[in-house]
Structure 1
């Protein structure tokens, strides 16, 4: 990535209102199903330095979250150049990542008590990224910054962030999970009375039948929820098109792409997936699966 590309990734440095035309913001505003991850926003203390990691599955909305976070900061009066967004898809290695962050902080690092906000998307794409973050943290370059790192590799992000002990400040490790069924219902305007287990067990047969009658329509929504996995983008596609084929194709490409990246073969993973239905619910040997990879 070239230095001048930072201005392309961060157009609000030139024109703060450009955040409103960001494709992720526009897509969110036009989405049939909008989920605002309020708990995630509240988990980040924007007035205290810290290093946060956000891990979650692909297409859950991590990039959209970062863009919405930038929008909120700009609307709250944060100086545009105090914000930087980086996507690691275009960064060669951890050394280039370190150079980009160093140049930014040397150029726009706050000289007052104001904080800088450093948002790095898909950091797990870069091998040994934690070494760069540790190095910069040890130099004190993040002492006046809120750093947010996202990644789709849960194992990498969790275990790599553990190598930053004592350097996160007020930061923490966060998880961006698919929405719950209750959140799904609330989003489409359906409120369901909440009952504890003891309340349910104390209901009479007539009361149970009454609930079945009142909430019978919920079953249809539950099957829709199961079909979409609680992923806002997938839910939006289903509500708009009645199918999730586009999302299925996207995830298929992700899985096969990772297979090629980590084991060097898409074919072997497809063979595993074809074999799984045959062994579900049966005893099997891990060696039988290994044979597929070594065959």
Structure 2
């Protein structure tokens, strides 16, 4: 690409070079979700490259805009910050070496001196970096050559980003996975609590930590009861927001939309992701079949996945289905829950597979409607999908950011989800109705037969009580805990 043309493009994007504010198209709403504060701290840490991975439309670009605004507000010179995206059609039509070309133009026309001579940090933001061939090697060269460069990159393809980075950028890289907004962020966005939403949620998780460490329900039960009582007046609003999120999910683009409009937005974005990005990245010749696999996964939610049945239904091979499932997981669209085993002698079993976001599940299942909230049969898998999503976030926290993997158990009854680590085991059962009146034999048997000291029964009936090692917890309160 011609240098003058590239400079014009970069200048048009980086309007703060001319003392203009970060455009709203980049930073979007002023609300800053919890990811912002985590990533901001990582940006100030020792590692000089930060990758932010997550699905399309989850808010990664917005996060970049907010980080840029934050840097400017704390006094970083405007011309020490450059942003560009690999999704720009003009960039994609240019040379493969767009990182080098962009930074050379930026160095020559904006900084007007070598990076080596700049006496402060220079921040480089690159959006959708996986679309640039050899990006990791190029960033390695720059951080190894210039000690004052910091890079923030985003990407929508999980392991492609991770594998490229981990193989090339050892010791130079910090990572952050950004998923759709948790219920806690949903509550904070709507200002539903007078208190500090983040600290309240942190206190509940700390109490869970204490209960798991001590092997009894005391600390967690006390914390949940205190929170439940303290926000008695806010509970109707919290429950209503829970219902809203159970329908629309956590993608920021639909947070203000009505269900019917949210369906259109999510359906459009989903098709663009699968038929556009996914098909291009993995060279899929029949992307509509990937959509059909995803729809059949939604149909199988809360049940063990039968890959052969999916293959027979669509008329493709089993190997092709398994490959498509891998692709869908790469794009953060589905998550797999294997069978939990208590020893190496336990036999394996078919996994359960869930659509990652409950709003996408409802879009695929045709349940993105307020009528669903009154249909017990439909609400069962809806609630379980949302609990799966939040349970994975909780597992990530409990494992000290080492793993978001969770499992299920089906020996002497079933347990929907099992969270486990080197020093904890936490079984979770999901009941759309009143869990205190439900059959919890599987949960109780799991506690009796394993190292778990207690279990959680997530319910959609406002029940909060402890009963012989089982904590019955309202769904909205469980989501807030996570």
1:245-260 aligned at under 5 Å gives the runs 245-260=264-279
Change (3 A) 1:220 1:134: same
1:266 and 2:267 correspond: no
The CA deviation at 1:172 is: 0.9
Does structure 2 conserve the Cα–Cα contact (< 8 Å) formed by 1:260 and 1:266? yes
Label 1:287 to 1:99 Cα distance change in 2 as closer, same or farther (>3 A).
Answer: farther
Provide the residue aligned with 1:123 in structure 2: 129
- 8 Å CA contact 2:136–2:169 kept in 1: the answer is no
What is aligned with 1:190?
192
The correspondence for 1:146, drawn from 146, 150, 156, is 150
Q: 2:87 and 2:131 mapped to 1: Cα distance?
A: 7
Distance in 2, Cα, partners of 1:145 & 1:68: 19
Deviation at 1:149, TM superposition (A): 0.7
Contact 1:94/1:132 (<8 A) preserved: no
- The structure with the greater share of residues assigned to strand is 2
> How high is the TM-score relative to the length of structure 2?
0.50
SS in structure 1 opposite 2:43?
coil
- Show structure 2 runs of 5+ residues with no match: 208-216, 322-482
Asked if structure 2 preserves the Cα contact closer than 8 Å seen for 1:54 and 1:149, the reply is yes
Shift of the 252–211 alpha-carbon distance from structure 1 to 2, 3 Å rule, reads farther
* 2:53 matched residue in structure 1: 55
Between 227-236 and 115-124, report the one with greater CA deviation: 227-236
What is the match of residue 474 of structure 2?
A: none
Aligned-partner SS, 1:3: helix
Cα separation, 2, equivalents of 1:76 and 1:114: 14
Report the RMSD for the aligned CA atoms in angstroms.
3.6
For 2:316, the equivalent position in structure 1 comes to 292
- What is the aligned residue count? 281
Alpha-carbon distance between aligned partners in 2 of 1:175 and 1:274, rounded to the nearest angstrom: 25
CA deviation map 1:248-271 (0-9, x unaligned): 322222222134312122222233
How has the CA–CA distance of structure 1 residues 238 and 287 changed in structure 2, closer, same or farther, with 3 Å as cutoff?
Answer: closer
Q: Does the Cα contact within 8 Å between 2:129 and 2:155 map onto a contact in 1?
A: yes
Give 1:147 shift.
0.8
Q: Match for residue 44 of structure 2?
A: 45
- Classify 1:201/1:18 alpha carbon distance in 2 versus 1 (closer, same or farther; 3 Å): closer
- Compute the TM-score of the two structures, normalised by the length of structure 1: 0.78
Q: Does residue 242 of structure 2 align to residue 237 of structure 1? A: no
Q: Secondary structure at the match of 2:51?
A: strand
Q: Deviations over 1:121-170 (max 9, x none)?
A: 110122332122233334x03x21111111111111111110234451xx
Quickly say closer, same or farther: Cα 1:85–1:201, change in 2 above 3 A. Answer: closer
- Please give the residue correspondences for 1:47-126 in structure 2 after superposition, counting only pairs within 5 Å: 50-90=48-88, 91-92=91-92, 94-105=96-107, 108=111, 109-110=114-115, 111-126=117-132
Q: Secondary structure at the match of 1:253?
A: helix
Question: Any conservation in 2 of the 1:34–1:232 contact (CA below 8 Å)?
Answer: no
Deviation at 1:7, TM superposition (A): 1.4
The whole-number CA distance in structure 1 between the counterparts of 2:189 and 2:298 is 35
Per the alignment, residue 29 of structure 2 pairs with: 28
For residues 87 and 273 of structure 2, what CA distance do their matches in structure 1 show? 14
What is the alpha-carbon distance in structure 2 between the residues aligned to residue 105 and residue 167 of structure 1? 26
Q: Indicate conservation of the 8 Å contact 1:272/1:292, yes or no.
A: no
Unaligned ranges ≥5, structure 1: none
In 2, Cα distance between equivalents of 1:74 and 1:53: 21
Secondary structure in 1 aligned to 2:285?
Answer: coil
Q: How many Å separate the matches in 2 of 1:74 and 1:211?
A: 39
